[in-house]
Every structure is written in structure tokens, then in C-alpha cells.
Amino acid sequence: MILTHFSAVLLFAFFASIVFGITQRAEPRMMIRFGAFCFVLFVGGTIAASWLMYFIKH
């Protein structure tokens, strides 16, 4: 199986966010909100860190 780095991030963020959403909140509506929040943080954090590394190198 071959994945790009970004698709690996997306898969990791998607599945981890589902588990975090279900386990860290009690109400279904809040689970979805927290899961979406985690997903955005995972992906956004990775993109931010990638740009940071780019600017450190250049």
C-alpha cells in the first residue's frame, strides 16, 4: 500500500478524531463537534508545522 504523506495525515486524523469524539464527550452532538475540532487541529497543525519547517530550511 502506498500513501502520500498528506493522505496518511488525513486517514490518521479521521480515525483518531472519531475515537476522541466518542470517548471525550457524552452527548452525540458534542461528540460530532469535538471530533470535527480534533480533525481540524490534527490537519491544520500538520500543515502549520510543514510550513514552519519550510521556512526554517529556506
Partner 1 sequence: MATPATAKAQVPATTQSSSLPLMCLLAGWLVPGAGHFLLRKPVRGLLLFGSIVAMFFIGIALQGKIYQPNTGDLLDILGFLGQLGAGLLYAFARMFDWGHASVQIALADYGTKFIVVAGLLNVVAAVDAHSLANGRKAS
Residue 2 binding partner 1, by CB under 8 A: yes
Residue 47 binding partner 1, by CB under 8 A: no
CB–CB of 41/8 below 8 Å? Answer: no
Which amino acid type is present at position 14? F
Residues 7-46 that bind partner 1 (CB under 8 A): 8, 11-12, 15-16, 18-20, 22-23, 26-27
Distance of alpha carbon 42 from alpha carbon 55, whole angstroms: 20
Interface residue list for partner 1 (CB under 8 A): 1-3, 5, 8, 11-12, 15-16, 18-20, 22-23, 26-27
